[in-house]
Amino acid sequence: MNKGILSGIAAYAMWGVFPIYWKLLHDVPAVQVIGHRISWSFVLLITFILLTRQWKDFRSTALTSKTLAIYTLASILLTINWLVYVWGVNAGFIVETSLGYFINPLLSVLLGVVFLHERLRPTQWIPVALATAGVTYLTVVYGRLPWIALTLAFSFGFYGFVKKLAPLGSLYGLTLETGIVFPFALIYLAFVGFTGTGSFIHKGAGNDFLLIGAGIVTTIPLLMFASAARQIPLTVVGLLQYIAPTIQFLIGVFLYKEPFDRAHLIGFGIVWVALIIFWVENFTANRVSAEPIPEMGEG
């Protein structure tokens, strides 16, 4: 197994066990957790850029009006995604958060159709229709729209759509995204600190270490993924991306004992079948398109 695949597996596995980390901060309001996650991530990323002498290149490519406009929208979407995810995990909805990342690839396909006028192959509509049926079924089962899953899927789907139009790589991109919202996060954390409602410094060294570590656990898998994406085909990346929600789902059901009965299994099962069809169809289509066209006279 090559280094790129190992890096990709490691990155998605780390993202998969995120619920355990955020559960350790269940006493801290989700907004404060995200404030620290943004702040410490930006500090670590900009420090890395400075230490590796990339500041000049970062400044020239990132600090332009067009780039800032694109990444301002990306930073808003990412902040919403992070906030809903952390809140959902600590409110006992890990299984539902995993659903959001299961349906995200299919939603991204639909966004391409709607906004980029991409055309789906007829067989690609099958998994899209199945996923829609699965979410509809789960809406009936839950007795409500699975808004946590849908918010995560839509925010991350639109985030991916915006990043498709963005000029920067993963490192520079996340640095700029966190840098844009960093002043707001810092002002908010300072406010709750001065009013005595902040958790940092007030709940012990262990709590402080975990809040600071939010930046570390954010940046490490990102850098590992960036390394993997340069070394392995997109089809492999597409397969590996299901590692994270699968681990999250298993953690929610078996570690934190979240409800998951036969009705939930049917709904999730429909979505899983849709994903299998989607991946197999995509893999087959890519193999066919990659095959050399026979020259005249061959056969």
CB of 244 within 8 A of CB of 20?
no
Three-class DSSP labels, 57-120: HHHHHHCCHHHHHHHHHHHHHHHHHHHHHHHHHHCCCHHHHHHHHHHHHHHHHHHHHHHCCCCC
Looking at the domain assignment, is residue 295 inside a domain?
A: no
pTM for this structure? 0.88
pLDDT at position 298? 43
Looking at the domain assignment, is residue 299 inside a domain?
A: no
pLDDT at position 1? 58
pLDDT at position 290? 52
105-128 pLDDT, tens digit each: 888 888 888 887 778 888 888 998
Give the domain range for residue 265. 3-287
Looking at the domain assignment, is residue 297 inside a domain?
A: no
Report CA-CA distances (Å) from 39 to 106, 193, 209, 214, 274.
Answer: 32, 14, 14, 9, 38
- Name the domain count of the chain: 1
Instruction: Give me the percent of the chain exceeding a pLDDT of 70.
Output: 93
Looking at the domain assignment, is residue 195 inside a domain?
A: yes
CB of 235 within 8 A of CB of 283?
yes
pLDDT at position 289? 58
Provide the mean pLDDT of the chain.
88
Looking at the domain assignment, is residue 90 inside a domain?
A: yes
Looking at the domain assignment, is residue 294 inside a domain?
A: no
Report CA-CA distances (Å) from 151 to 84, 218, 275, 281.
Answer: 8, 20, 19, 27
pLDDT at position 293? 42
50-79 pLDDT, tens digit each: 999 999 999 999 989 999 999 999 999 999
pLDDT means per 10 residues in the chain (299 residues)? 82 94 94 96 95 94 91 94 96 95 86 80 88 92 92 90 83 93 96 89 88 92 78 71 92 95 94 90 70 43
- Contacts with 190 (C-beta within 8 Å, 6 or more apart), sequence order: none
